[in-house]
Amino acid sequence: MIDLARPEVLRAVLAALGRRLDGQLAAASTSHRKRAVLHNALEYAVERQLLSANPLTAVRVRARRAVEEVDRRVVVNPEQAGRLLAAVGRQGESGKRLAAFFGLMYYAALRPGEAAQLPTSALHIPAEGWGQLFLPGSAPTTGAAWSDSGRRRDERGLKHRPRGNPPRPLPSAADSPPKGPSGRVRGESQGTPVRIDARR
């Protein structure tokens, strides 16, 4: 902790946080997130009286700007998404659940944890016009060793939003998705939830 109070050491730490394991520059959003985690850790050290002040506030490092534009050449367009979901849906019984799961992610812009936690009672799909999704929460995959409950998924609130049920519009053209064994709209087979590897 004493070493972290030295600016040259902290600058080296920040430089390391901005690199991937292969030495290439990490994405700006990744660097920002890791810096925020380091800031919180140092604030905790101050709270525990291991440091007199957070040394990160005294180090001025030019932050890289995150890319906010989307490259349309690498984004699935609606026609491609429809074909992909149709192909997934033809893969047996589990394919139907996976098509519903990935369809929610694509058409309603849900995170995987939000789609995994969505009950069918939260869907309102009228015959015409736009429907609504009422998101009760999220269940991101953390791994049983790192969760509070000992399960792979922990139920949490929606990310960056207050607790509640904020609606999101849903096209009425979407078919009513199949229920999994637990009654949730997700790609599960015999009660096993879909596993999304965020590293890919």
How is residue 122 written in tokens? Answer: 């939260």
pLDDT digits (tens, 9 = 90+) for 137-158: 787 777 777 777 777 777 777 7
The pairs formed by 70-79 with CB atoms below 8 angstroms and a separation of 24 or more are 76/106
Model confidence at 63, in pLDDT bands (50, 70, 90)? low
The pTM (predicted TM-score) of the whole model is: 0.55
DSSP string for residues in 5-46: GSHHHHHHHHHHHTB-TTSSBPPHHHHHHHHHHHHHHHHHHH
Q: How many CB atoms lie within 10 A of CB 141?
A: 20
Could you tell me the two tokens for 141?
A: 């995959």
Asked whether the predicted pLDDT for residue 43 surpasses 60, the reply is yes
Q: What's the confidence (pLDDT) of residue 163? A: 60
pLDDT score of 199: 36
List b or e across 99-131, with b for residues whose CB sees 16 or more CB atoms inside 10 angstroms.
bbbbbbbbbbebbbbbbbbbeeebbebeeeeeb
For 113-139, the pLDDT digits (tens) are 888 888 888 888 888 888 888 878 787
Q: For 166, how many CA atoms within 13 A lie in the half-sphere containing its CB?
A: 12
User: Of 71, 58, 43, nearest to 8 (Cα)?
Assistant: 58
Which of 117, 110, 92, 112 is closest to 174 using CA atoms? Answer: 110
For the stretch 3-22, pLDDT in tens is 888 888 888 988 888 888 88
Structure tokens at 90: 């033809």
Q: How confident is the model at residue 37 (pLDDT cuts 50, 70, 90)?
A: very high
Which runs of E-coded beta strand occur in 45-192? 123-124, 130-134, 167-171
- Longest Cα separation, the chain: 65
Please write the tens of the pLDDT for every residue from 67-88. 566 777 888 888 999 999 999 9
